[in-house]
């Protein structure tokens, strides 16, 4: 098992959609509402939908052969030919059970040509004449999708008045494209106090609001950030305000920070401030890191300082560390320094790791060094190990070496496992070698077992074999269970064989029972 902390680097102007809208966008491209859609090809999802329909029909009649011709033309992106083919299906077989499907795919081909009004007429006919069609939801979604081109806002608003959450999400997106002012009215209604709208729709409404740059959106987001009684919606509004990044919005976020008592809201505002290059936002982050009244808020501010990636942040963190008394805050500073690429940050971690001060802080600094991969970090950790007498620190260094993918680090672990000057560090090195897995590690540990005399170390080696999923480890356990001179070692090997549930191990145990 390897513990890895990956650097988190926030990007300014990050754009996030609410879960439902994002999933719809990824799944079918339904939210690309501009005229550019007419020239895009058929997606794998769209073609798969058509192919599944034809596979399920199991019909060999002439009508379905026309339908298959239309499918082939859609696959070839021959939109004009596909529209004509589905039109001939409708003309030749007006009573066919799959007229609704033909209407949908004819509309699809018309939409791809940019003939939105004609496509809308076919979709309207499908919805009106086939109210129980399996294609009804697809038709409604496409009708909303092209509403910006057809000017059919009534279709969108009808969907917003219904209870179908998915359709409401698509409709709201469409309305923002075609009539932002009207969309704002719906958003205000969805988010008003006492609204019974679904929580997911509310979150999507705030996300859409955040992506819209109209003059009324920032005031509405600020109102939500100040007064919305649902914390998730408040935090979403604060996130989108952070994407604005202008001075006025930063000032308003800082006012909310000062007035609000919620730790979670304060944390969200700190994140929002990191999305701005505004100097006042940076100053506020630094102030919260230094003097925030709540420890958790201070730690959050320190975390985001560490993500800034500049030398000024390193200076600020080091100054806070020197003046700080709280161990939890100091640990957070060390973690933040470990996320920074600066050589000065690395030097500070090394200094604290080597010092004779607080053991927990030294351990945090050692872990921080392990997060900076490379030969220099490995050599630094080995040097600390060799100079150290404190058992707890030595164990932490051994763990840190497992966090770096390095032959030199593995060689040091093996050296300690073989020749360490105390049993506890040897056992710790063996444990981590066992956790790294691989046939080479198992072979090395097996050789070590054969040459070992200390039963405490041999017991740890048996445990390491028991944790491995390699055949070589299983075979070594069977060898120990069968021929080791120590009854205790045999018993331990049999125990771990029983834990493996491997058929070969089970057969071996059954043989022992005979």
Closest alpha carbon to 240 in 258, 222, 261: 222
> For residue range 111-157, what is the model confidence (pLDDT) as tens digits?
999 999 999 999 999 989 998 999 988 888 888 778 778 777 676 66
Q: What is the pLDDT of residue 354?
A: 93
Across 7-11, 26-30, 94-98, 355-359, the highest mean pLDDT is recorded for 94-98
> For residue range 322-366, what is the model confidence (pLDDT) as tens digits?
999 999 999 999 999 998 888 899 999 999 999 878 999 999 999
| 8-36 burial code (b ≥16 CB/10 A, e <16) | eeeeeeeeebbebbeebeeebebbebeee
Q: What is the pLDDT of residue 153?
A: 66
Contact 70/110 with Cβ under 8 angstroms? no
| pLDDT at 159 exceeding the cut of 70 | no
CA–CA dist 242, 249 (Å, integer) = 8
Joined together, the tokens standing for residue 112 give 């791809």
Q: What is the pLDDT of residue 179?
A: 76
Vertex 177 angle, CA 175 and 181, to 5°: 60
CA–CA dist 2, 101 (Å, integer) = 53
- Provide mean pLDDT across the span 404-409: 90
CA–CA dist 227, 60 (Å, integer) = 62
Average pLDDT, the chain: 85
> For residue range 60-76, what is the model confidence (pLDDT) as tens digits?
778 889 999 999 999 99
Q: What is the pLDDT of residue 176?
A: 81
CA–CA dist 390, 491 (Å, integer) = 34
CA–CA dist 112, 101 (Å, integer) = 17
| pLDDT at 287 exceeding the cut of 90 | yes
Closest alpha carbon to 173 in 37, 38, 31, 34: 31
| pLDDT at 189 exceeding the cut of 90 | no
| 223-237 burial code (b ≥16 CB/10 A, e <16) | ebbeebeeeebbbbb
- Prediction pTM value: 0.65
Q: What is the pLDDT of residue 162?
A: 63
Domain 213-284 coded CATH 1.25.10.10: yes
- Provide mean pLDDT across the span 197-216: 86
CA–CA dist 308, 340 (Å, integer) = 8
| pLDDT at 239 exceeding the cut of 80 | yes
- Sequence ranges of the domains in the chain: 213-284
Q: Give the residue, 239 or 169, on which the prediction is more confident.
A: 239
């Amino acid at each position: 098992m390897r513990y890895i902390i990956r650097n988190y680097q926030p990007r300014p102007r990050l754009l996030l959609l609410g879960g439902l809208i994002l999933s719809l966008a990824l799944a079918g491209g339904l939210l690309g509402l501009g005229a550019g859609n007419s020239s895009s090809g058929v997606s794998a999802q769209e073609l798969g939908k058509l192919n599944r329909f034809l596979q399920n029909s199991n019909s060999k009649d002439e009508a379905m052969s026309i339908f298959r011709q239309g499918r082939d033309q859609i696959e070839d992106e021959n939109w004009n030919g596909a529209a004509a083919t589905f039109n001939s299906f409708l003309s030749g077989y007006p009573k066919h059970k799959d007229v609704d499907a033909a209407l949908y795919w004819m509309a699809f081909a018309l939409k791809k040509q940019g003939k939105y009004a004609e496509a809308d007429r076919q979709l309207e006919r499908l919805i009106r004449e086939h109210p129980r069609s399996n294609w009804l939801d697809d038709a409604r979604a496409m009708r909303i999708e092209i509403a910006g081109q057809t000017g059919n806002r009534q279709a969108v608003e009808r969907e917003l008045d219904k209870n179908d959450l998915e359709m409401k999400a698509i409709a709201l997106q469409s309305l923002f494209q075609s009539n932002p002012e009207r969309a704002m009215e719906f958003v205000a209604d969805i988010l008003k106090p006492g609204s019974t709208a679904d929580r997911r729709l509310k979150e999507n409404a705030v996300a859409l609001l955040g992506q819209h740059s109209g003059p009324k959106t920032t005031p509405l987001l600020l109102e939500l950030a100040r007064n919305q009684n649902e914390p998730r919606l408040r935090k979403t509004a604060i996130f989108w305000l952070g994407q604005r990044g202008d001075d006025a919005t930063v000032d308003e976020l800082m006012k909310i920070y000062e007035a609000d008592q919620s730790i979670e809201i304060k944390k969200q505002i700190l994140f929002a401030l990191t999305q701005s290059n505004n100097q006042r936002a940076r100053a506020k982050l630094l102030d919260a890191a230094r003097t925030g009244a709540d420890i958790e808020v201070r730690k959050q501010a320190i975390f985001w300082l560490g993500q800034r990636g500049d030398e000024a942040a390193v200076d600020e963190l080091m100054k806070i560390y020197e003046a700080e008394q709280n161990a939890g805050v100091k640990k957070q500073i060390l973690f933040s320094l470990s996320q920074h690429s600066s050589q000065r940050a690395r030097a500070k971690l090394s200094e604290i790791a080597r010092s004779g001060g607080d053991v927990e802080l030294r351990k945090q600094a050692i872990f921080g060094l392990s997060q900076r991969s490379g030969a220099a970090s490995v050599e630094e950790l080995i040097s600390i190990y060799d100079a150290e007498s404190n058992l707890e620190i030595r164990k932490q260094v051994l763990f840190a070496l497992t966090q770096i993918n390095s032959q030199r680090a593995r060689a040091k672990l093996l050296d300690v496992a073989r020749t360490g000057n105390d049993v506890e560090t040897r056992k710790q090195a063996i444990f981590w070698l066992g956790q790294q897995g691989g046939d080479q590690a198992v072979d090395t540990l097996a050789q070590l077992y054969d040459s070992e005399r200390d039963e405490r170390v041999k017991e740890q080696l048996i445990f390491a074999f028991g944790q491995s999923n390699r055949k070589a480890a299983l075979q070594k356990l069977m060898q120990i269970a069968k021929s080791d001179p120590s009854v205790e070692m045999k018993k331990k090997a049999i125990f771990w064989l029983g834990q493996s549930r491997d058929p070969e191990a089970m057969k071996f145990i059954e043989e022992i029972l005979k």
